[in-house]
Amino acid sequence: MKYLISLCFFASMTAQADSMRCGQQLVSSGDPIFAAEAKCGAPMDKREYSMPAIYINSKGDKKTDPNKAPIFHQEWTYNFGSDRLMMKIKAIDNKISTIETLGYGH
């Protein structure tokens, strides 16, 4: 029984790792990035960059694929104040891939 309770607690913790609450709203991985701004407001910091699409050829070498568009990355940081943890949202091609918990805000 103790094992089952521990397992349930761990499962709930890992499920929460890729979601962020803003008031009554919830933002989760898989959501479009613009949903975070609509639900949580503007982030404290926005970083955007592109990476070329790559593939591994038959020799095992990484090569840039000239036939594919670059992959667009975004990192948004939310600072909810000194009494709450800051959150970092990472998105690939405008879709949230991960949500990380940072230290307390300021």
Q: What is the pLDDT of residues 28-57, one digit of tens each?
A: 999 999 999 999 999 999 999 999 988 888
Structural domains in the chain (count): 1
- Mean pLDDT over residues 51-80, rounded? 91
103 Cβ contact list (under 8 Å, min separation 6): 85, 86
Tens of pLDDT, residue by residue over 17-35, are 588 988 898 999 999 999 9
CA distance 78 to 59: 43
Q: 6 falls in which pLDDT band (50, 70, 90)?
A: very low
Per-residue tokens: 94:
């405008």
* Percent with pLDDT over 70 in the chain: 84
The helix/strand/coil state of 81 is coil
**Which CATH number belongs to the domain containing residue 34 in this structure?**
3.30.1450
How many CB atoms sit inside 10 A of residue 102's CB?
12
Query: Which residues, in sequence order, are CB contacts of 90 under 8 Å at separation 6+?
Result: 73, 74, 75, 96, 97, 98, 99, 100
Q: Chain-wide mean pLDDT for the chain?
A: 84
Q: Domain range spanning residue 37? A: 2-104
